[in-house]
Amino acid sequence: MTILVDMDDTIEQLLEAWVKRANEKFDRNVTLDEITGWNVAAPYTGLTRKQIYDVIYEKGFWKTVKPMPGAAEALEYFMKKGHEVFIVTATEPEHVEEKMNGLLFRYFPFLTWNQVIITGRKQMIRGDVLIDDGIHNLEGGQYRKILFTAPHNRFYDAEANGMTRVRTWEEVVAIIDGMEVPD
Ligand SMILES: [Mg+2]
């Protein structure tokens, strides 16, 4: 199978690092539970959206982002089983160097640049399944849809929209193992 995998908040914990750094920088104590939508700046009352979004452009920021527990083990397992794995990410040009070398290839050293697809139009990509925390990336795609749970999507009814919500990489592995055609 061809397995498509999002990066931010699917195989790594962007939001956690982002909120941690913003709290340090602006002396706040916002928690992940306070993030209920795509606008990470919303709980930071009195600060501008730009002030909060500038945090992820700080030099060295991406090196503070940690991998999602179980993600590396799962992706390596899929590849060993003979599946093709592609990272499909809407990474911005400014972040490519630090995010790929400081984060992706550091924690997922079995992946190569040939397995990275950078696009904001994931529905254009062909694959058997996409694992993503972004509802907008799953909607309308011609792949099986696995929604990785995240603070910003927790009130979304995944099942009613043809998606399967997962909370851990162990759940992803169980679903993908179950998709295999017996020979
Ligand atoms: Mg994401």
Tens-place pLDDT, residues 112-129 = 999 999 999 999 999 999
pLDDT at 55: 96
pTM score: 0.95
Across-strand partners of 84? 2
CB neighbour list of residue 53: distance below 8 Å, 6 or more residues apart: 40, 41
Give the distance (Å) from ligand 1 centre to CA of residue 97.
Answer: 18
Q: What is the rounded CA–CA span in Å between residue 71 and residue 97?
A: 21
- Can you give the length of the chain in residues? 183
pLDDT at 54: 96
Give the distance (Å) from ligand 1 centre to CA of residue 93.
Answer: 16
Residues lower than pLDDT 70 in the chain: 181-183
- What CATH code is assigned to 2-13+65-179? 3.40.50.1000
Domain range list for the chain = 2-13+65-179, 14-64
Give the distance (Å) from ligand 1 centre to CA of residue 134.
Answer: 5
Give the distance (Å) from ligand 1 centre to CA of residue 68.
Answer: 12
pLDDT at 36: 85
Give the distance (Å) from ligand 1 centre to CA of residue 133.
Answer: 5
Ramachandran angles phi, psi of 164, nearest 5°: -115, 120
Q: What is the rounded CA–CA span in Å between residue 99 and residue 77?
A: 23
